Structure 1
Amino acid sequence: MTSQVKLYVYDLSNGMARQMSRQLTGRQIDGIWHTSVVVYGKEIFYGQGINITLPGRSHHGSPLQVEDMGETSIDEETFNEYLSEMREHYTADKYHLLEFNCNSFTNDCIGFLTGGSIPSYIKDLPTDFLSTPFGAALRPTIDAMYRRPSPGAAPIPAATAAAANVSPNPQLASSILQSIATQAQAGGFHPSPNGNAQSPPPLQATQTLTAPINIITNPASFRSFLGGHRAAVAFFTSATCPPCRMIEPIFERLAEEKGVQGGRNGAGFAKIDLGVGMGRNVAAEYGVRATPTFISFLDGKKVEEVKGADAAGLKSMIDLVIFQAFPPHPHTALSVPAIQAVSFNPILFSQVPPIDSVLGKLSAFIDAAPWPSTQTQSQVQVKTALTSTVAPYLKARFATTPPTPLPSATPAILSTWAQATAALTLALPIESLFPLADMWRLALLDPAVGTWSAASPPSDPIALLLPKAVTALQNPSKGSRNYLLTVLRMLSNAFSSTALARRLLIGNVRGDMTSVLVPSLLHEDASVRTAAASLAFNAAAVLQKARVDAVRTGRGIQAENEVADEDWEVEVISAIMEAIDREKESEEVVHRLTASFAFLVRLSPFYDTQIQSLLDVLQSKKVLKSKLVKGDGWNADNGIAKKDIRRLVDEVAAKLCP
């Protein structure tokens, strides 16, 4: 006698994935699937351990769709024995939204009952999701949701909210993530003696596997696992194997050190117990007859095998497959002491002018300007805000003998100042705005101002003042030159804030900044070129520091996680090289530009795809070498005179330029 087997399919996102996935991930994802097996008049699923309820009576309600999985000839008693065995492995503490979830369990059950597997659109969803930049960025947070909390770790809601910020729509992403996490971690239902569902105790969502190891119990799950990891390592074990128990702690430690958690490049780690589920079938596919056996895989294909409790051999095998899957950047092997000696600290313009003089000049401009009738603030109100709120703060913060501790700008001060700035950018001509920009230049040295501005508040000063600099370039004059110079210095100081620096390198703000930076690098005024070279250096230093940190921590340099993109780097590198070629006066400008160039080129994830050929076209090596000899229009008798600058230019030309 046979029994019908069905698969109940639910959408944990309640339709939000279908509607919003493309704008969040760039890929259409129709649902975040939860599944359960329906057989013998029961619905069985994995959440807080293995749960059983009447069909359609789980906390997920009615299924979105029902898949016919065929028939089984296995009797109910045998299946119950199978479930009893599986309860030891599908425990509440091992649940993981991506790696060991309800779909892993239903895939095992379907394999046991029918010899088949659940549909690929369900079991392949984690792989599809993680292949998107959004999914890859969220992986560390999802992992953190299902691990034992460490001291100082962010709670799940905070971690989820932080991860959502990688999305173009953080509020929407946070809403979807919290909804999915809530439903995925919600309690399952157990049958009472009268057949009614009862609520179980709460799931301990942060108490799961001690290591990022996938528990595999059937061939279909293992194939899905291999498809989700470029490099993978499988541990074939059994409960009756003493050497397995000896080597298992070492395997777990290596999984922690060399796994993919934390956003780094690494291997996926799987454990297959030959006595659990269809573990022997998985082992048979790869000829495993004894335990412990370890096999490494590259792009789904077997690479190497280690038999026995050989810790040294296991580590070597893992290191090799990770190296093969994620070869280091070609420049990591270069000896570049001059480049490495350049500090990542931003170049800042910290000179403090007489605050009263700056404010007096701005007040005179305000008095002379025709005030638009549409302004919500009068001239008197704007001047009062500057004299009674802004000036006292600046004088206290940047006094000749500054107090201890230094006073910081409050949100109230900054909000008042921002409103006045919005009024002034509408009322004053560009040549009259440079005192205002200079005041903000100083303020951005205050960490509190950078943090506030990074949050993109209404009337954000950078968003208001930066587009005016584009206009200043289009209408050159002495007054517009002063404004352009001041804004370039203001933007350089903005890089003193890590949060604000990141904001300057993404989206529309980066576009506006680049529109100001590129032509300013070629400006006829030496002071403007120096400020532009400083801004270019600060932007490049942010990228280089992130890439060096990625190499040191083993995460690898991944373009999708960069705040920059290939087209932007090509544009800026081209502008910097042209500026170096044209620079005939200032060694310091050449120094800053060369350092910027080195930071952008070294460890760039785009070096092989476009940067290397671009440097050849730009004749970058020839241009840099020309600065070391007396050239056409170069004032120095023998090119650059300062030894440290000469060393840097020579090293960049020799090591980074084709």
Structure 2
Amino acid sequence: MSSKVQLYVYDLSNGLAKQLSMPLTGKQIDGVWHTSVVVFGKEIFYGQGICITPPGQSHHGRPLQIVDMGETAIDEETFQEYLTEMRQHYTAEKYHLLDFNCNSFTNDCIGFLTGESIPAWIKDLPSDFLSTPFGAALRPTIDAMFRRPAPGVAPAPASLQPSPEAASAAAAASPNPALASSLLQAVANQAFSPSPSTPTPAPSAPTPSQATATVASPIHICTNPSSLQSLLHTHRVVVVFFTSKICGPCRMIEPAFEDLAHEKTHRHADKIAFVKVDLGVGLGSQLARQFGVRVTPTFLFFLDGQKQSEIKGVNAPELRSQTDLLLYQAFPPHPHTRLSLPAVESLSLSPILFTQVPPLDTMLSKFISFLDAAPSTPDVQSAKQTITSVVLPYLKSRFPAKDANSVAKKVNASSVLLNSWADATRKIVDILPPAQLFPLADMWRLAFHDDAVGTWCAGLSPTNPRSIDPIMLFLSKATEILESPDADAKASARNYLLTVLRMLANTFASPALAKRLLAPGSRAGTREPLTRVLVGALLHGDAAVRTAAASVAFNVAACLQKGRVDQVRGVNVGAGVEEDGEWEVELVSAMLEALANETQSEEVVHRLTAAVAFMLRLSPVYDAQLAPLLEVLQARDTLKSKLERGGCGEQGVQKKDVRKLVEEVAEKLCP
């Protein structure tokens, strides 16, 4: 008779991860997942050992989600025997927030019962977290919190205080290290909190673990054939280490295996799995027989589910060599890595920023005159009060006048200040025409030089109706201008469009905000309107507007390129902008059209050529989508025409470094 198997899912952060993950890590993380298995009328989970409670009665209360995992034909007695064996393996002192936690245990149990694995959105979360600069910086802190005791020594309580070095690294990687540290500590504490009820068998206390780290940690523990088959099915590259507790050579080679796993899973973390199988745990001996393993240590290497090679004994150099060969076969380097591109490589990946500070009192006076001319309403008066008494003091403290007799009192960009400013912006945008909004956009342009403003804006939730995104407000008006058939309206709003473009360029001073702005529309809602404004502005009749638009195009492409370069170097993997072939084709098409039309400004040609280079170089969709586009649009001829008479100015591009860049992109990146 079969029995139903369910997966109970809890969020250890109680919703905080969803709210705070973007500003803290640059990635949207919807929860810190703890899971447990419910079968035979019991809820089983791992924390301080394996624990069992009636369903829904652990200290986490009701699950956030219940996932139906199918049915099992295994009887309860057999499952209890399996748990008895697992208790020797899943002990309290072995628990690790990243490498060996509740989700590791749940995945094993699900594999034993049904032959399936827990959902990818749970098991792959740690890899996502660790791929961010903040996650990588916190790795040593988390390791220190769960350091395993030496053999024969009673486990000491885990210290939840990061070392000074780790705290410093976290501070450098996160815009809000204090908040990040408190969130991490709260989750870790909850992972070890004793359950109010500790029913039935098993060493005492409670449950969970966090999901900033789950089973997708660098090393997977497999105790049954189903778990291994699941990994072979979901990962392109799998390296399996067959070991035994009584094997001395295994203990000698294990550190090399673990170091290799940590090193290699930084890249393609969701496609590479390092697996450890202990022949004395669970169905480990059955797994060994299945693959003909008779001695330990033995390493098996799989590519796309097929065994490629095998190593027996202690041979660390060969282990590394076979792993590198397998990774090369699975992920051959991008062909552009073999190109010599000195002009492209010499380009800075830092964003182009507009830093000029206008006389703030003069700017405010002009803007207030626009508000005074508008119909007087409570909204107008409250917005004017916010700008004069809140925004202006902040800007003056941030950008003091050179001839000021006294130093302005420092005003921090708190969330209260920014929320009130955003609300005032919404009211003003609804009242004034675009031609009168450019001073307000210019204030925000200056504000985006402040890291705190970028961090706040990066954390705005597009699904929260109370969140007011000033960038979206300005983009909406800019879109109306560019798409209006009224030529006079376009001309009168020239200053507004120019200022908004410069403001957009400055938003790239914050990596977290840049990534949010370029996230797919379904997640953040900003990329589509930003792209529409950028594409329209690149073809504007005014040279200053085109220069600002080319600066935004450069910043977009540089942000994309930085993620690709990091990927090649194996650092901050996954922290870049998500690739989207169709969107990249649209941008490259717009840039090439703008280049073809640009016959006046060498600066615009320079910035657009650099942007095109960044869009093409190392692109994962180059061969499939971009190269055919470049041929159809005759991109090589377009670029070379800028060097000829009349192509850009009377004599064509004159600056040597710009000519060299144009020639290099045309000859080496355009088919």
TM score, norm. by length of structure 2: 0.75
Shift of residue 540 of structure 1? 1.4
Q: Give the distance between the partners of 2:62 and 2:457, measured in 1 at CA.
A: 47
CA 323–93 in structure 1, closer or farther in 2 if over 3 Å, else same: farther
CA 404–87 in structure 1, closer or farther in 2 if over 3 Å, else same: farther
Match for 1:645: what amino acid?
Answer: V
Shift of residue 323 of structure 1? 2.0
Deviations 1:116-147 (A, max 9, x none): x5224xx223447558xx89636867997985
3-state SS of paired residue (1:287): coil
CA 12–491 in structure 1, closer or farther in 2 if over 3 Å, else same: closer
Counterpart residue number, 1:167: none
3-state SS of paired residue (1:376): helix
1:529 to 526, 543, 546: 546
1:47–1:101 Cα contact (<8 Å) kept: no
Match for 1:119: what amino acid?
Answer: T
2:493 to 459, 476, 480: 480
Deviations 1:455-487 (A, max 9, x none): 447554323222222222224333211211121
1:125 to 114, 118, 132: 118
Counterpart residue number, 1:223: 229
Q: How does 1:388-427 map to 2 (within 5 A)?
A: 388-396=389-397, 397-400=399-402, 407-411=410-414, 413-427=417-431
- Runs of at least 5 residues in structure 2 that lack an aligned partner in the other structure: 12-32, 146-161, 176-182, 461-465
Q: Give the distance between the partners of 2:293 and 2:637, measured in 1 at CA.
A: 59
Counterpart residue number, 1:657: 670
1:147–1:210 Cα contact (<8 Å) kept: no
Shift of residue 585 of structure 1? 1.1
Shift of residue 310 of structure 1? 0.9
Match for 1:338: what amino acid?
Answer: A
Q: How does 1:501-520 map to 2 (within 5 A)?
A: 501-506=514-519, 507-520=524-537
Q: Give the distance between the partners of 1:496 and 1:62, measured in 2 at CA.
A: 42
1:491–1:535 Cα contact (<8 Å) kept: yes
1:137–1:263 Cα contact (<8 Å) kept: no
Shift of residue 416 of structure 1? 4.8
CA 146–365 in structure 1, closer or farther in 2 if over 3 Å, else same: closer
Shift of residue 582 of structure 1? 1.0
- Runs of at least 5 residues in structure 1 that lack an aligned partner in the other structure: 15-30, 108-116, 163-173
Counterpart residue number, 1:348: 353
2:110–2:117 Cα contact (<8 Å) kept: no
1:93–1:204 Cα contact (<8 Å) kept: no
When structure 1 is superposed on structure 2, of 325-334 and 584-593 the one drifting more is: 325-334
Match for 1:591: what amino acid?
Answer: H
Q: Give the distance between the partners of 2:9 and 2:303, measured in 1 at CA.
A: 32
1:612 to 623, 627, 630: 627
Counterpart residue number, 1:168: none
Shift of residue 401 of structure 1? 5.6
1:333 to 332, 338, 353: 338
Shift of residue 529 of structure 1? 0.7
Shift of residue 594 of structure 1? 0.7
CA 349–43 in structure 1, closer or farther in 2 if over 3 Å, else same: closer
Q: How does 1:25-424 map to 2 (within 5 A)?
A: 34-35=36-37, 48-51=48-51, 67=71, 69=73, 86-94=86-94, 96=100, 100-105=104-109, 107=111, 117-120=112-115, 123-127=116-120, 137=128, 148-149=144-145, 151=163, 200-202=204-206, 205=209, 212-259=218-265, 264=269, 267-367=272-372, 369-371=373-375, 375-378=378-381, 382-396=383-397, 397-400=399-402, 407-411=410-414, 413-424=417-428
Counterpart residue number, 1:437: 441
Shift of residue 214 of structure 1? 2.3
Match for 2:37: what amino acid?
Answer: T
When structure 1 is superposed on structure 2, of 307-316 and 487-496 the one drifting more is: 487-496
Shift of residue 343 of structure 1? 0.9
Q: Give the distance between the partners of 2:231 and 2:589, measured in 1 at CA.
A: 43
3-state SS of paired residue (2:620): coil
Q: Give the distance between the partners of 1:360 and 1:72, measured in 2 at CA.
A: 78
When structure 1 is superposed on structure 2, of 546-555 and 285-294 the one drifting more is: 546-555
1:106–1:118 Cα contact (<8 Å) kept: yes
1:461 to 451, 467, 470: 470
3-state SS of paired residue (2:525): helix
3-state SS of paired residue (2:128): helix
Q: Which one scores higher on RCO, CA 8 angstroms, separation ≥ 6? A: 2
1:11 matches 2:8: yes
When structure 1 is superposed on structure 2, of 342-351 and 386-395 the one drifting more is: 386-395
Larger Rg: 1
Deviations 1:299-346 (A, max 9, x none): 111011112111110010111112222222222232222111111222
TM score, norm. by length of structure 1: 0.77
CA 188–5 in structure 1, closer or farther in 2 if over 3 Å, else same: farther
3-state SS of paired residue (1:377): helix
Match for 2:380: what amino acid?
Answer: Q
1:189–1:199 Cα contact (<8 Å) kept: no
Match for 2:441: what amino acid?
Answer: A
Match for 1:547: what amino acid?
Answer: R
Shift of residue 584 of structure 1? 0.6
Q: How does 1:475-624 map to 2 (within 5 A)?
A: 475-477=486-488, 478-506=491-519, 507-553=524-570, 562-563=577-578, 565-624=580-639
Task: Work out the percentage of aligned pairs sharing the same amino acid.
Answer: 46
1:443–1:449 Cα contact (<8 Å) kept: yes
CA 515–106 in structure 1, closer or farther in 2 if over 3 Å, else same: closer
Q: Give the distance between the partners of 2:77 and 2:552, measured in 1 at CA.
A: 72
Match for 1:463: what amino acid?
Answer: M
Match for 1:35: what amino acid?
Answer: V
Match for 2:9: what amino acid?
Answer: L
Count of residues in Structure 1 that have an aligned counterpart in Structure 2: 591
Q: Give the distance between the partners of 2:552 and 2:663, measured in 1 at CA.
A: 23
Shift of residue 269 of structure 1? 1.3
3-state SS of paired residue (2:350): coil
Q: Give the distance between the partners of 1:546 and 1:426, measured in 2 at CA.
A: 38
Q: Give the distance between the partners of 1:57 and 1:418, measured in 2 at CA.
A: 44
CA 463–59 in structure 1, closer or farther in 2 if over 3 Å, else same: closer
Q: Give the distance between the partners of 1:582 and 1:422, measured in 2 at CA.
A: 36
3-state SS of paired residue (1:246): helix
Deviations 1:634-654 (A, max 9, x none): 4242x2111111111111112
3-state SS of paired residue (2:275): strand
